Amino acid sequence: MPETLLSTRNLAFELYEVLDAESLTQRPRFAEHSRETFDAALTTARTIAEKYFAPHNRKADENEPRYVDGRAELIPEVKPAVDAFLEAGFLNANRDFEVGGMQLPSLVSQACFAHFQAANAGTTAYPFLTMGAANLIESFGSEEQKRLYLQPMIEGRYFGTMALTEPHAGSSLADIRTRAEPAGDGSYRLRGNKIFISGGDHELSENIVHMVLAKLPDAPPGVKGISLFIVPKYLVGPDGSRGSRNDVVLAGLFHKMGWRGTTSTALNFGDNGQCVGYLVGQPHQGLACMFQMMNEARIGVGMGAVMLGYAGYLYSLDYARQRPQGRSAENKDPQTPAIPIIEHTDVKRMLLAQKAYVEGAFDLGLYAARLFDDTHTAPDEDTRQQAQALLDLLTPIVKSWPSAYCLKANELAIQILGGHGYTREYPVEQYYRDNRLNPIHEGTEGIQSLDLLGRKLAQNGGAGLKHLMRLIAVTGERASHHPNLDPLRQPLEQLVNRLQGVTLALLGDLAQGKVAGALANSALYLKVFGHCVIGWRWLEQAIHAELGLLQRAAADRDFYLGKLQAARYFLTCEIPGCHADLALLEARDDTSLNMQQEWF
């Protein structure tokens, strides 16, 4: 039976060959784990994803949440799925054993989570948001807040949301208008409107904990005046008992192109002046707090984009193997039988491109998770800091690259199925619609590009960038021991060398205050930087495939040859296309910058 969520062979390759998950068990935090416990968790994830999440993916798309009497009504299949997820402990996969967690490395928990993302993006969003909200309170909340809000979230009784966006401000958080007035008893009264709040209403949990950005009366203007608040749907007594409804009203639902299983809500806070909230962390420090969560969320969004791409790739691959149609380019005899379409070169191209995008981005997502593990469990402080610097730098790529290229993979999956792919009788069109959200939420592509070029490159004195360049050089050096890999290594080195020059020049411009010109083609910069990173990860995969061919069983030969061919596709067919983009960056092309709005 073909796999539908991800390739378990590829997952094992990533975890145990490329990313050496087993070495993590030598660290104190993971000492009780082993490859067996990792695999057990992964098997459980796959089983629950297949049994509870995948079966209602289409139904949730066809029956989006409905607004009924001021609340959002979901199809009944969502709750048992989420309950099974909670029951199996995945909400707390990374938490300490002592609070009931599984104490897994992020590398493994992300791999577990990936199964749910592939099976059903809409339903998976509910626990995903809850994990983000819980982590925020864990990092910045008071002991009281942890007792009253975090603990029931850990227990799966309360769910969470992130309430950032406002109708007039969109991505520009500096301009939010939601206000929080001190009530005199340590709590606050909030007033404002938020939109696009995913999971903003449902009845999957006893309570919903909204993490809300708002401004205090004495707030300085802009992003430096944003504070973070807990605003529960139901008030919570000091003993943890659930009280009456807070003044948070579900104003309406958004009707999306895809990702329909997740409610997207408009919430009104304090229409009656009675919306109670609690400040989390220091006043005016809300955005910094939220950014911690957003950085985690961005990795999660990137992996979500990967997994929609992955599910589409596997479906179209199986379809291409099963579907006979036409004959080879050389065979003009209509009396010979039709061949499976996977034998047509153009179909192989579309599958190979999907494989290159999806498996390249999958590797990067897991690599980022492993970096996250290093930030707090690496044996020495230097390694931890390096890991943090690199993770900070890579976050915009981990979020944006899969959002762009795994969406493209979904486009190719539809194309392979042809007319069938365009119908709702097959799943690939839903993956495409679902995935179209990913370049938008948790920071658009444009915002990621400005984050990378305008902020992350120079952060920590450029430590992340230097570390990345060192790692790429090391991979290149290792690849140079495999003569087969020369044609793969060289195009990457050429591109990376040129990218380094452009990067220094652009950072120089920024330092000299030439901001508009330096950032004008940030979208191109993001693309090329992302291609370099993915190209590096493919070269890394190719090295492990070469090692696998030498060391491992003949049964795996096809797998490794496929890896090498996908690496070759990405490094020799896609990477060289980036030079034209770099030339525009080198020339500080000002075509878009100088376009005048009256000219449109």
Distance CA 593, CA 591 (A): 6
Nearest distance in Å: CB 224, a copy of itself: 8
Cβ-based nearer residue to a copy of itself, 197 or 472: 197
Residue 546 among the catalytic residues: no
Decide if 55 contacts 115 (C-beta within 8 A): no
Tokens linked to 314: 């596997």
**H or E stretch including 279?**
strand 275-280
Secondary structure of residue 330 in the 3-state scheme: coil
Give the one residue of 143, 218, 330, 382 binding a copy of itself; rule: CB under 8 A: 330
Considering only the stretches 234-242, 303-311, 376-384, 521-529, report the one whose residues sit in contact with a copy of itself under the rule CB under 8 A. Answer: 521-529
The verdict on 516 binding a copy of itself (CB under 8 A) reads yes
Distance CA 223, CA 159 (A): 27
Cβ-based nearer residue to a copy of itself, 394 or 518: 518
Decide if 89 contacts 37 (C-beta within 8 A): no
**H or E stretch including 159?**
strand 158-163
For residue 253, the cross-strand partners are 265
Which residue, 9, 4, 115, 56, is CA-closest to 413?
4
Distance CA 492, CA 201 (A): 47
Nearest distance in Å: CB 239, a copy of itself: 39
Nearest distance in Å: CB 42, a copy of itself: 22
Decide if 569 contacts 531 (C-beta within 8 A): no
Q: Given 17, 442, 546, 574, which residue is catalytic?
A: 442
Nearest distance in Å: CB 24, a copy of itself: 30
Considering only the stretches 149-157, 204-212, 370-378, 407-415, report the one whose residues sit in contact with a copy of itself under the rule CB under 8 A. Answer: 407-415
For residue 267, the cross-strand partners are 194, 250
Considering only the stretches 299-307, 351-359, 468-476, 496-504, report the one whose residues sit in contact with a copy of itself under the rule CB under 8 A. Answer: 351-359
Give the one residue of 70, 222, 240, 243 binding a copy of itself; rule: CB under 8 A: 222
Q: What are phi and psi of 242, to 5 degrees?
A: -80, 125
Cβ-based nearer residue to a copy of itself, 191 or 441: 441
Nearest distance in Å: CB 39, a copy of itself: 24
Considering only the stretches 109-117, 207-215, 287-295, 417-425, report the one whose residues sit in contact with a copy of itself under the rule CB under 8 A. Answer: 417-425
Decide if 354 contacts 402 (C-beta within 8 A): no
The verdict on 512 binding a copy of itself (CB under 8 A) reads no
Which 169-198 residues touch a copy of itself, going by CB under 8 A? 169-172, 174-175, 195-196
The verdict on 403 binding a copy of itself (CB under 8 A) reads no
Determine the residue type at 226: I
Give the one residue of 342, 458, 463, 471 binding a copy of itself; rule: CB under 8 A: 342
Cβ-based nearer residue to a copy of itself, 183 or 516: 516
Give the one residue of 415, 460, 490, 494 binding a copy of itself; rule: CB under 8 A: 415
Give the one residue of 99, 183, 338, 504 binding a copy of itself; rule: CB under 8 A: 338
Tokens linked to 397: 């790529």
Distance CA 89, CA 99 (A): 11
Which 574-593 residues touch a copy of itself, going by CB under 8 A? 576-577, 579-581, 583-584, 589, 591-593
Cβ-based nearer residue to a copy of itself, 414 or 469: 414
Cβ-based nearer residue to a copy of itself, 151 or 268: 268
Instruction: Render the burial of 388-416: b for 16+ CB within 10 Å, e for the rest.
Output: bbbbbbbbbbbbbbbbbbbbbbbbbbbeb
The verdict on 437 binding a copy of itself (CB under 8 A) reads yes
Which 98-157 residues touch a copy of itself, going by CB under 8 A? none
From its phi and psi, is residue 149 left (phi > 0), alpha (psi between -120 and 50) or beta?
alpha
Give the active site residues. 442
